Structure 1
Amino acid sequence: MGAATGQSLPIAVGVLVSPLPIVAVVLMLTSGRARANATAFLLGWFLAVGVVALGVALLAGTAAGGSSGPPAWLGWAKLALGVLLLVAAARQWRARPAEGAEPAMPRWMTTIDSFTPVRALGLAVLLSVVNPKNLLLVVSGAAAIAGATDDPAAKAGAAVVFAVVASLGVAAPVAVYVLTGDRATALLDGLKSWLTHNNTAVMAVLLLVLGAKMIGDGISAL
């Protein structure tokens, strides 16, 4: 489990600092159903990331057929994931707003005030494992877990750790809100503003670094 956790941890950190879900949970914390919606979002995010990471890691192990050591196809899969991450990084960088321009925000952000906990949970699933960029990161983390161990129990433990670390980004604003209440409003507003304006640049750098890591891991496995 230790090796699998170590291999997947940098990618989990990449998911952790993904700006868009953090902005979403901050918006929920300034809405009418702040605690209920934010808690549902956090739960949905954790479960979706954990289930997908574990499912892909176990399927990769099954496809390996019990062979000793990581199969060659897993190295090629990591290479492919790394290339896709680099392509996504380039697209993010090209999409960054011009200096001084107001970035365009997703339409769903304007409806968060009317969200119920069920809709908040559903949005967490969409942003965590349906959003292509985050799905790439979660699958990359699962591939790292699968390449590090053949033990299903170790994979399960590593997937849980991966999901916990990947959830810290959305958990942090919730913790700040619970601990400080209304005093957190100014801090959360500042965080939302910074992430909104730097979302594409932050994601571009993350995807670039993690793509390079996956390519390196893939080459090492071949």
Structure 2
Amino acid sequence: MLHVLADLLTLGVAVAISPIAMVAVILMATSGKGRTNGTAFMLGSYLFCIVFVGSLVVIGRSAGADDEESATHLLIDAVEVALGAFLVVMAVRQWQRRSHTGTPQWMNAIDGMTVWKAFIVGILISGPLSPKDLPLLFAASGRISQAELVVHEVVAVVLIFGVIGVMAITIPWLISVIAPSQVEMRLSGLRDWLIGNHAVIMTVLFLILGAKLIGAGVADLVS
């Protein structure tokens, strides 16, 4: 199980490094809603990750993905290469948009969000609306599906992967819980930096992750 988690570590950290999600939690924290809305946002992100990955793993293993000679195993490798190519294309698009540093409109509505809306936004930003996270979650699901693990190990890997995926947004959330009076001082600079450098950060991430997925997929196909 440990070797699978080690293989997934890069993907999990990449999921965690989400400037938009981090800015959303920081905005909730600086508006005084870090303990409630921030918690709901984080739970939404975590639940989407483990349910999405877990569902794909069940489908993959039911189709025989853990058998190295199966067509499903090879298909997952091919999909991984395709996802890597998609991320490289997204890197180019992000670089072209690097001069757009304005605050997205949806961020202005965070102050008025209810707990349930924050929960839903956490789900959406962590998957359906994220061009970075969905390919990574697909890739992680494929890796777990292919691994020779028993059921309880699969469950543990999915749950731990979900924890890794929300590690970055737990930092501003913890600050809002432990030291709410220092939130503005500690997080306002990080918030502005993430907004201003979002495109460049995502460009670098997309390139590195795209290369990793292409390399890993091709290596598995030819081995």
- Corresponding residue number in structure 1 for 2:202: 203
Equivalent residue for 2:110?
112
CA distance in structure 1 between the aligned counterparts of 2:150 and 2:59, rounded to whole angstroms: 12
- CA shift digits 1:28-66 (9 cap, x unpaired): 112243311001001111111111111112212222366
Partner of 2:150: 151
> Which 5+ residue runs of structure 1 have no aligned equivalent?
none
C-alpha contact (below 8 Å) 2:13/2:164 kept by paired residues: yes
Match of 1:79 in 2: 81
Task: Provide the C-alpha distance between the structure 2 equivalents of 1:116 and 1:138, rounded to a whole number of angstroms.
Answer: 27
Offset, 1:155? 2.2
Post-superposition, which runs of at least 4 consecutive aligned residues in structure 1 deviate over 4 A?
none
* Alignment partners' CA distance in 1, 2:136 and 2:154: 17
**Alignment partners' CA distance in 2, 1:194 and 1:56:** 35
Moved more, 145-154 or 2-11: 145-154
Answer with 9-18 or 53-62: which moved more.
Answer: 53-62
Amino-acid identity (%):
33
Q: CA offsets per residue over residues 120-177 of structure 1, 9 Å max, x none?
A: 0000000001123221222122222223335333222111111101101111101122
TM-score (norm 2): 0.91
Which segments of 5 or more consecutive residues in structure 2 lack a partner in the other structure? none
Distance 1:35-1:46 versus aligned 2 partners, 3 A rule = same
Cα offset, 1:190, TM superposition:
0.7
Q: Which amino acid aligns with 2:220?
A: A
CA-CA distance at 1:12 after TM superposition: 0.7
Q: What RMSD over aligned residues (CA atoms) do the two structures have, in Å? A: 1.7
Please show how residues 1-222 of structure 1 align to structure 2 within 5 Å: 1-64=1-64, 67-68=67-68, 71-97=73-99, 103-131=101-129, 132-149=131-148, 151-222=150-221
Deviation larger for 68-77 or 82-91: 68-77
Q: Partner amino acid for 1:194?
A: W
Deviations 1:86-127 (A, max 9, x none): 111111111111xxxx61232111111100110000000000
TM-score by length of 1: 0.91
